[in-house]
Structure formats: C-alpha cells, structure tokens
Amino acid sequence: MGRNGKIIETKRMNKIRIAKFISSKGVTSKAEIANILGLSMPTTLQNVKELVEEGIAVENGVYESTGGRKAKALSIVPDIGYVIGIDITNHHITIVLVNMKKELLQIERIRKTYAPDFSYYEALGDFIRRFILKLKVKSEKILGVGISLPGIVDQEQKLLIRSHTLGVSNVSFKSLDEFIDFNFALENDANSAAYAELGNETENTVYLSLSNTVGGAVFLHDRLYLGENFKSAEFGHMVIEKDGRTCYCGKKGCVDAYCAAKVLMEHADGNLETFFDKLRKQDEECLRVWDEYLEYLALTITNLRMAFDCNIILGGYVGGYLEEFRMDLNKRVLKYNNFDIDTSYIRMGKYKLEASAYGVTMGFADAFFESLQ
Ligand SMILES: [Zn+2]
C-alpha cells in the first residue's frame, strides 16, 4: 500500500470506528465521539457528515451529555438493516429481530426439541420464514442470521464440534443453506450472551454465564479471547470441590454442578421464577439451597478475579436475578478475596432468556459497519 492508500485506509477505519461507536451508544454527540475515541474535531465532523449524507446516521433532537451541554443527538438510522438472532437449546428455539441501532425489536420463543436431522433444519427454516413474514421487514434488508449454540463451534466450517447439552458432536450446519435464504453464522451461546452484555464495554471483562449450564467468555483488548482450540472460558468445568458432585461432563466437583440454574430449578418444579418467589417467601428448602449456591458462586467469582484481575459480569438466567442479592454475595466474595478492598468489579447482567439470541446478531451488525467505504 502506498502513502495515499494508507491515508485512505486510516480515514476509512476512523469512519468505521465512529459508526460502530454511534451504534453501540444508541445516541451520542459529535463532542462525545471526538472525546471518547480520541479523534480531532475536524476528523469527527467530516466523518459524521459523510455518515449522515450516506443515510447511515441521522441527527435528530437534543443530546444532553454528562457535562450538561446540549448538543445535536446523533444516532444510526435504525432501518438501514436488520439481523435475525437465533438461540438453540435442548427444547427451545428463541428468535429475535435487531436493527442497526442494536435495538431488540421482537422476540419469539417456541418449544422444539433439538435433533441433528433434516426435519429439524426444515422446521427451523420455516420458523424463520414465518417470523419475517409477520414482521413485514423486506428480506433484502436482512443482513444475516446469527445462530447461537450450546457447545464448541467452528465458525469457518459451520460445525458444532461438540455439545454436551445437546448430546451431539461434529454436526455440520451447512445443510441449513437449503432452508434459509440468508447468510448465517454460528457462535457459542456464552460468547453470544457475552456480546449482548459487553455491547458498550471498553474495558477488559470476564463474563460468567449462569444458565442451564455454566459458561463464559473472556473479553480482552476489545475482542473475545477464544483460546487455541476454541475452548477458553469453560468456567463451568473448573473443579471447585475435590470428589464433589458429578458434572454432566463426567468429572466430579465442576462449577456447573453447583452454579447452573438447574441446581435451583430442581427445587421449584423446574422453574427459576418460582424458585425466587419461594425464596422471597423464606421457604426453608430454598433458603438452604440458595445459601449453598451463593457460597460456591462467591468461590468461583474469586477464582476468576484472581486469574484475570478485571471486571466480572454475572449473566445468564440466574444473573438476571442477582441484583436483589448483591449485598449478600458481596459479603461472601470479600470473605474469600483478601486482595481487593471492595467488589465494585462485579456487575450484574441485564438479560435473562434472550441474551444469546440478541448477542449473536452483533457480529453481522459489526460486519455491516466494517464494510463501509
Ligand atoms: Zn464438568
């Protein structure tokens, strides 16, 4: 690349950074862009002007920043494109529609038991088609379909390498091509949920997902650390109790056997909401189970903090309930951790059931902005 080429490329990268920043902020101002991205005002003004002229961004209304100064509110034009997100679990499919402002527009969830066969793909394709028809979104505006799976995924080969939860290994998703007319991509469910929770994150963060299984993601230097074999952040299978409870992976004493949502649900007819209702009513059995759960969770959080020394987000189905029990959890964590003076590095997740379906759309949204010229 010659000198001019380099200048053009740097200019394009600034434009992409600005567009992505506006998208993840939802609403922002030129001053905020220049300030947070460390760009000069002329560079910011020129790029914003281009984005507005190209119909990608729009100036609409007033934006009051923290400094109290009023500025023009800048946001992404929401309908320049849409992404469909799908989360596949053992017995359910969750589908969402997200626009380029990263707004979650629609959620639908159906009961459908996973099977690695033709009829499942056919049903999935049908579900997507009907969902789009109902929304009345033009199919040419759909940039792609992200699919979140509970297992280890090879994105290039569109292969589910292994899923304990679904009880399968080496399942190719390539044949899904026959049933959907869009580009699609696969992603691990915990990574997807992490994208949802880390949308605005600029700091290094570890994400601990407390759903039917325990998983996680490591977000370092603005990207996910996937591991040499796509197996990083399998926090659910760290051993926290020697010869402890048997985990579904076959080992004993894994975090999953103590901190998965199912550990709580078993005591409430398989329903997490019911568990917390009973807990709030001081049900003795639930109080005992919860006490033990929080204790193991505190241990796991402390181990993660010792290993990564960064923020920790607690997400997944249980994560959505934790804010209420924050004080209790803080006390327990401080008991194990004598390296930190407080627990301000612990954050609670915002999403419950839809985190993975929403988060798996982020890759397509980012790809859209990265393709800007
Ligand atoms: Zn395990």
**pLDDT for 197:** 84
Sequence letter at residue 341: I
Ramachandran category for residue 28: left, alpha or beta (phi over 0 → left; psi -120 to 50 → alpha): beta
Cα of 252 to ligand 1 centre, how many Å? Answer: 7
CATH 3.30.420.40 holds for 1-74? no
- SS3 for 239? strand
**Domain boundaries, given as residue ranges, for the chain:** 1-74, 80-192+353-369, 200-351
**pLDDT for 66:** 61
HEC sequence for 333-356: HHHHCCCCCCCCCEEECCCCCCHH
In this structure, are residues 145 and 183 in contact, taking their beta carbons and an 8 Å threshold?
yes
As a whole-number percent, the residues of the chain with pLDDT over 90 amount to 67
Cα of 206 to ligand 1 centre, how many Å? Answer: 19
Cα of 248 to ligand 1 centre, how many Å? Answer: 6
Distance CA 247, CA 79 (A): 45
Q: Which CATH class is domain 80-192+353-369?
A: alpha beta
**pLDDT for 70:** 81
Cα of 1 to ligand 1 centre, how many Å? Answer: 49
Q: Token pair of 163, please?
A: 């899923």
Indicate the CATH number for domain 200-351: 3.30.420.40
Which residues of the chain are modeled with pLDDT < 70?
A: 1-3, 65-68, 200-202
Cα of 71 to ligand 1 centre, how many Å? Answer: 52
**pLDDT for 280:** 97
pLDDT tens for residues 320-346? Answer: 899 999 999 999 999 998 888 899 999
Cα of 235 to ligand 1 centre, how many Å? Answer: 9
Same fold, 80-192+353-369 and 200-351: yes
Cα of 249 to ligand 1 centre, how many Å? Answer: 4
Cα of 20 to ligand 1 centre, how many Å? Answer: 37
This prediction's pTM: 0.80
Cα of 212 to ligand 1 centre, how many Å? Answer: 13
Q: Token pair of 244, please?
A: 């402890």
